[in-house]
Amino acid sequence: EVQLVQSGAEVKKPGESLRISCKGSGYSFTSYWINWVRQMPGKGLEWMGRIDPIDSYTIYSPSFQGHVTISADKSISTAYLQWSSLKASDTAMYYCARPLDGDYSSWFDPWGQGTLVTVSS
Amino acid sequence: SSELTQDPAVSVALGQTVRITCQGDSLRSYYASWYQQKPGQAPVVVIYGKNNRPSGIPDRFSGSSSGNTASLTITGAQAEDEADYYCNSRDSSGNHWVFGGGTKLTVL
C-alpha cells in the first residue's frame, strides 16, 4: 500500500524552531516529488512547495519562499518541512502529498494524514 | 493568473444533480483535479485528468472542462457527499500548483 505517514501534532511557542516529517512507503520514494500543503483553521488548501527527493531540488510558492524550508533524506524515504522561528500565524494543519502526472494533468495521491502545528505563547 | 476561483458554497437536494465549478487561466493548459475533504480528514482525490476516477470513488462523480472552466458533477448526490471540494492544477508556468478556494457542498 502506497502511503505517506506524517509526524505527530506539535505545540510550540513563537520564536521556536520546528521540523515535521513525512515518510513514504510502498513505492519508490525517489521516483516522485513530495509536495507540502497548508490549511489554516477553517480555511482552504494552499500549496507551499515541492521537493524532488532524488536531488533535493526544491520549488516554493512565492507566498512561502523564505518562511519555510523543505528538505528530504532519500536514505530513509522522508521529507521535511521546517521553520527557524515560528509565528502564531503558522498555526495550521500541514499535509504532504505525492503528485502524479498524466496528459496535461497533475494530481495528488496519496496525502499524508496531516500534522497539526499550534504556535501559542 | 495563477488563481483558481470557486463558489464558496453550493447546496443540492438529496438524489439531485449538482455541478461545482472552478475557473482559472491555467485550466486552458491543464486539467483540474478535484478533492473531497470531510471534517477532520485529509483531502482525497475524486477526479483527475480529463475525467478519471480513482478506484473506490463512486461513478456518480464526474469531471468536465471547457475553456478556463472545470466542473465537478455529482449525479444523484448522497448524504455522504456533503463535504468541502477543492480544485487544483499546475499554474500556467507548469512549475507550481494552485488550489481553488474550496466549495462547501450541503446535501439537503
Q: What is the pLDDT of residue A44?
A: 97
Q: What is the Cα–Cα distance from B108 to B106, expressed in whole angstroms?
A: 6
User: pLDDT for A18-43, tens place per residue?
Assistant: 999 999 999 999 999 999 999 999 99
Task: State the nearest Cα–Cα gap between A109 and chain B, in angstroms.
Answer: 7
Smallest CA–CA distance from A110 into chain B, residue:
B44
Choose among A104, A109, A114: nearest Cβ to B30.
A104
Among A108, A113, A115, pick the best mutation site for testing chain B contact (most B Cβ within 10 A): A108
Question: Which has more confidence, A82 or B92?
Answer: A82
Q: What is the pLDDT of residue B2?
A: 60
Task: State the nearest Cα–Cα gap between B79 and chain A, in angstroms.
Answer: 21
User: pLDDT for B20-37, tens place per residue?
Assistant: 999 999 999 999 999 999
| Whether residue A53 has a cis bond before it, omega within 30° of 0 | no
Yes or no: say if B2 and B26 are a contact pair by the CB < 8 Å rule. yes
- Provide the grid cell at B40: 477532520
Question: Which has more confidence, A103 or B97?
Answer: B97
Q: Do B49 and A103 touch (CB under 8 A)?
A: yes
Q: What is the pLDDT of residue A95?
A: 98
